[in-house]
Amino acid sequence: MTFTKTSQKFGQWADSRANTVYGLGFSSEHHLSKFAEKFQEFKEAARLAKEKSQEKMELTSTPSQESAGGDLQSPLTPESINGTDDERTPDVTQNSEPRPEPTQNALPFSHSSAISKHWEAELATLKGNNAKLTAALLESTANVKQWKQQLAAYQEEAERLHKRVTELECVSSQANAVHSHKTELNQTIQELEETLKVKEEEIERLKQEIDNARELQEQRDSLTQKLQEVEIRNKDLEGQLSDLEQRLEKSQNEQEAFRNNLKTLLEILDGKIFELTELRDNLAKLLERS
């Protein structure tokens, strides 16, 4: 088997006996190179073990056990676990600050319009956040599918390693080497199990994010309903304001007519007073003459 670099962060090797091609992804090219070196070291160790086993078989004239000299698969190191141990999906959940609730008492028209604009801005912000969260959820769903495939590949690799341990235990002449390989394989299996546990926790976290997204959707629906209620209240206040303006205009017209009538009466009264004054002066003159 030969490990081949297919790109800066990905590599693969083929198992002709299982008719399977294995592929791994890494977080950096350094991790990929390190894994390739380890793979070559284990491959060389397996080749030397096979040669020594064949030499011993020839000296003792015992039946050859070719199954003991098969190529050893490289145990997976923590750096080779898909290169994603240090990567985490960004949190999309956002903390929403508490927003002021509209009062139940009647509001002036200008104040109510300001509240309506405020809720419209809040709704637009929430829609933008909801779109970002939806995109993040779609990306998380795709990652979950990819991780499930990787988990299945890890499980198959673990089963193959268990079988390999069993095969190595059957080779008595290589007891010390088998024990060393068994320890390494058991460690690799333990690391794979820990990786599986981490992936399961990540899946649970993504489920929690989906639940949070549903709660945000409910909040958006609630804000939409409140905005509709505010708009209806604005229409009612506009109707009341229009009615008050009509009443005020009518009252002003009535007051203007009353002022005009009062002014006319005052002018008539002034004329009468002037006439009475002239009449008094004339009477006084007549009295003086008589």
Between 140 and 243, name the one with better pLDDT: 243
Q: Name the range with the highest mean pLDDT among 27-41, 124-138, 223-237.
A: 223-237
Q: Which residues constitute the domain of residue 13?
A: 1-85
Encode 151-168: b = buried (16+ Cβ within 10 Å), e = exposed. Answer: beebeebbebbeebbeeb
- In this structure, what CATH number is given to the domain that contains residue 35? 2.30.29.30
- 32-38 average pLDDT score: 81
- 211-238 average pLDDT score: 90
- Count CB neighbours of 290 within 10 A: 5
pTM for the predicted model, two decimal places = 0.26
- pLDDT band, residue 125 (cuts 50/70/90): confident
What whole-number distance in Å separates Cα of residue 29 and Cα of residue 243? 76
pLDDT tens-place string over residues 89-109? 333 333 334 444 444 444 444
Report yes or no on 40 lying in a domain. Answer: yes
Between 114 and 30, name the one with better pLDDT: 30
Inter-axis angle of helices 109-169 and 175-289, to 10 degrees? 180
Report yes or no on 23 lying in a domain. Answer: yes
pLDDT tens-place string over residues 228-284? 999 999 999 999 999 999 999 999 999 999 999 999 999 999 989 999 998 988 888
Question: Is residue 63 predicted with pLDDT exceeding 50?
Answer: no
| 126, amino acid identity | L
Report yes or no on 74 lying in a domain. Answer: yes
* pLDDT at residue 116, rounded to an integer: 67
Report yes or no on 30 lying in a domain. Answer: yes
Based on the structure, what is the number of domains in the chain?
1
Q: What is the DSSP letter of 265?
A: H
